[in-house]
Amino acid sequence: MRHLENAFKFTFKNFLLTLPLLISLAIPALISGVGSLGIVANSGAIAENLRRMIENNAYGGGIPNYGDLFAGLNLSTFIASSIISGLLSFVLMILVRPATYGLINLHYETGNAKLNNFTGCMSKYIGRFVLFGLLNIAFAIGLGVVLLILVVIGGVVSSVSTGLGVLLIVLFVLAFFVGVAVLFNYLNLWFPAVCVEDSDIIQGLKNSFRTVKGSFWPILGITLLVTFGGSVAGFILGSVIGLIPVIGNIVAPVISGLAEFILMVYYFEVYREKTGRYTLPEPPPQFGGFQDGGVQ
């Protein structure tokens, strides 16, 4: 928990460093919120259309036509804003995430990271971050293939014995999700390791596995705790402030972004300690410049 406490202290002491990440999440959410204003403004009409659909279905109206639910609404603005929001979110992720990792690492290395270091950190790490993202996609595709194979095996078995096949599918799915949780927990320190060691992606992957190995359960527990806590806080605040059109849309993403930043710092904390990179404390005054028997 000491690492988590340090992560919270770091985050709120250096809150300006969180702004690029929070803004990169708020802007797409804001655009999406503006696009949804037409639907919000016509929520009464949508409710009325839904009521009519239910009545028609109750009196033998056949299969309901869900297209009638949005009859009379112009959805082009909503669709366009959703597409723009998604594309912008993707671009900002590629630009902002590596810079944020770099700012955190720079602060640990020099104690003096500022927002004007943003472009330098971005240019230093963006290439490796793109490769990092591509390898994560490759992992996800590989896991999807594994899941498909397991489901097919369960389906083949169910053709012989339905009960056994269903049981196998349930067990395979449970084992799959446990395996995914284990794998991605070993990957949590991947990019922090790249930044701290200034290494390539493959070496960072090896360092992440090696470092997580001795602290698997604390890292997994803190990751779940912060992620779940951020989601719950975002949902609660979003539900309250969500009554305000547009502005309410950005609350949950910003809270989740703050939780993400805290986790980033936490991973740096763990990696730096496990690899012996904590700076030695200043010597007590009574030693007059000497520490551990050595001259400073």
Q: How do residues 143-170 score in pLDDT, each as one tens digit?
A: 999 989 988 888 888 877 778 878 888 8
Q: Tell me, what's the pLDDT at 88?
A: 93
- Look up residue 291 and give its DSSP letter: E
Work out the percent of the chain whose per-residue pLDDT is above 90: 52
Rounded to the nearest 10°, the torsion over CA 167, 171, 173, 174 is 140
CA distance 13 to 111: 12
In sequence order, the 6+-apart residues with CB closer than 8 A to the CB of 238 are 248, 251, 252, 255
Q: Look up residue 58 and give its amino acid.
A: A
Answer whether residue 101 shows pLDDT above 80.
yes
Q: Tell me, what's the pLDDT at 166?
A: 82
Torsion sign (Cα): 49, 50, 52, 57: positive
CA distance 195 to 125: 8
275 or 296, higher pLDDT:
275
CA distance 111 to 273: 16
Answer whether residue 279 shows pLDDT above 80.
no
- What are the CA-CA distances from residue 155 to residues 34, 176, 212, 233 (Å)? 45, 16, 36, 40
What crossing angle do the helices spanning 118-160 and 201-212 adopt, rounded to 10°? 70
Q: Tell me, what's the pLDDT at 284?
A: 46
What confidence tens digit (pLDDT) does each residue in 5-61 have? 999 999 999 999 999 999 999 999 888 877 666 555 445 555 555 656 665 555 555
Q: Look up residue 153 and give its amino acid.
A: I
250 or 136, higher pLDDT:
136
- 238: helix, coil or strand? helix
Q: Tell me, what's the pLDDT at 78?
A: 72
Q: Tell me, what's the pLDDT at 169?
A: 84
What confidence tens digit (pLDDT) does each residue in 186-237 have? 999 999 999 999 999 999 999 999 999 888 999 999 999 999 999 888 888 8
Q: Tell me, what's the pLDDT at 126?
A: 97
Q: What is the 3-state secondary structure (H, E, C) of 174-222?
A: HHHHHHHHHHHHHCCCHHHHHHHHCCCHHHHHHHHHHHHHHHHHHHHHH
What's the pTM value of the predicted model, to 2 decimals?
A: 0.81
Structure tokens at 199: 């290494």
Structure tokens at 28: 């797409």
